A and B are shown apart, each in its own frame.
Chain A
């Protein structure tokens, strides 16, 4: 059974701080990695995805991937109260299959 693990939280950070969210996965065949944000009562929305080792930046968000250690992380700079949500990590293999979500980490940004 392929697994994706995340700390369920809640992770609380003050407004303006950097929030760091981590995710580990069990399947070494995973090739694509996604971060979704889900507000309470809403459906997941894509933040960003990463395929290659290293960092990928998009605005206030940076995804970091380390395939050797099988972890992917998401950094949110200058956190805002509107960033308070559950963040879902998802992984997929190279054939577009075996799409597995983690349980999500609940982030609370305190004003």
Chain B
């Protein structure tokens, strides 16, 4: 069974530029999560989808971050414009359903904002 796929793995941009991350969850997993993990901290949930609907985006900085999961499978997370403090690893995870056990993580995208 293929795991969660993410791309790109690394991205370096200058502040005020935009960037997009892509995630493909494990086949059959209805719930998809985007996390931000700053070095030395635990992952912080940015947004949670159930199929193509948003379940929780309370910690998503909506003035600059956006995410979509149009067909209930792949998802894209966008930052526009980026700030220095956005430098972090962006992790995508998926689970079978809202109460469907644990989440499985992709390899992450390491973003550096200069």
Using a CB–CB cutoff of 8 Å, the interface residues on chain A facing chain B are 4, 32, 34, 42-46, 49, 88, 90, 94-104
Contacts and interface: CB of A to CB of B under 8 A. Distances in A.
**Which interface class (under 10, 10 to 19, 20 to 34, 35 or more) fits B?**
20 to 34
A90 B33 CA distance: 14
A34 B100 CA distance: 13
| Interface of A, helix, strand, loop or mixed by DSSP | loop
B33 A95 contact: no
Contacts, number: 54
A101 B91 contact: no
Contact of A100 (B45, B98, B102): B45
B100 A43 contact: no
Interface stretch (B11-19, B61-69, B72-80, B105-113): B105-113
B31 interface: yes
